[in-house]
Amino acid sequence: MTTSGERPATTDPVIGLAHLSGEVAAACARAGRSVQSVTLVAASKTVAPDRLAQTIEAGHLAYGENRVQEAKGKWPGLLERFAGVELHLIGPLQSNKVREAVALFDVIQSVDRPSLCSALAKQCERQERWPRLFVQVNTGVEPQKAGVLPDDADAFLQTCRDTHRLDVVGLMCVPPADQPPEPHFTLLAELAERNGLKQLSMGMSGDYTTAIEHGATHVRVGSAIFGARPYPTNLPTP
């Protein structure tokens, strides 16, 4: 079964990517925004390295993985072959994976708790590598979902800056699957504005055009590029 935004798994990833890039450009034009103001992060979980090599060769450089373990197995070989790739961690980060995450990722979008901040600060200093950081906000206040609660976001951002000296550049959210995304995108944009943050990572296969209308600077799109995944990886398995 596929939902509206998904393409068949057999889709040529280069064609899927070209299609999606065109859709992003059209959404930018409709919103009166420049194409350069939105980064398409290709969500590549479960996508095999040979398919990723094809899209990298076609010139696409921004990718998002949601598990450190999977990324560690898949990306070092590709990073050796291709220069210029920008790797985003878009899934939850466990404290015991921080060392590996700092070593591998250019952007970590899922900062969401003080203990993670201190572990990140320590590893960044130690490795002299400073991935760009986004704070994830649980805009729908869903108990099973990662992210700081909207009411805690201001204080948490202050802790990131003042206590841990972390350079947070933006906010990220994954709205509840069963609700219209607009109020969540609006809320995230308000929180960012109020905290002087310029970057907004929001929008997935089903709602990236809406996210672009609401100011997204990063959209994370997987199945609409690569086809339906063999199993849902961002949900607990039943």
Ligand X SMILES: *Cc1c(COP(=O)(O)O)cnc(C)c1O
- Residue ranges that bind ligand X, judged by CB under 6 A: 43, 45, 66, 90-91, 174, 204-205, 220-224, 234
Structure tokens at 108: 């970590």
- Comparing CB distances to ligand X, the nearer of 39 and 223 is 223
Least distance to ligand X from the beta carbon of 110, Å?
8
Query: What gap in Å lies between CA 158 and CA 153, rounded to an integer?
Result: 9
Least distance to ligand X from the beta carbon of 9, Å?
12
Rounded (10°) CA dihedral 205, 151, 199, 235: -30
Contact 110, 146 (CB under 8 A): yes
Q: What are the strands, taking DSSP E only, across the chain?
A: 39-43, 62-65, 86-89, 107-111, 132-136, 168-172, 199-201, 218-221
- Comparing CB distances to ligand X, the nearer of 132 and 161 is 132
Query: What gap in Å lies between CA 66 and CA 172, rounded to an integer?
Result: 13
Please report the DSSP string for 60-92 in residue order: --EEEES-HHHHHHHHHHHHHH-SS-EEEE-S-
**Nearest residue to ligand X, using CB?**
222
- Comparing CB distances to ligand X, the nearer of 85 and 121 is 85
Least distance to ligand X from the beta carbon of 174, Å?
5
Least distance to ligand X from the beta carbon of 238, Å?
17
- Comparing CB distances to ligand X, the nearer of 8 and 32 is 8
Least distance to ligand X from the beta carbon of 163, Å?
26
- Comparing CB distances to ligand X, the nearer of 74 and 220 is 220
In the chain, DSSP finds a helix count (H) and a strand count (E) of 9, 8
Please report the DSSP string for 160-192 in residue order: HHHTT---EEEEE----TTS-SHHHHHHHHHHH
Query: What gap in Å lies between CA 184 and CA 228, rounded to an integer?
Result: 25
- Comparing CB distances to ligand X, the nearer of 47 and 197 is 47
Least distance to ligand X from the beta carbon of 227, Å?
9
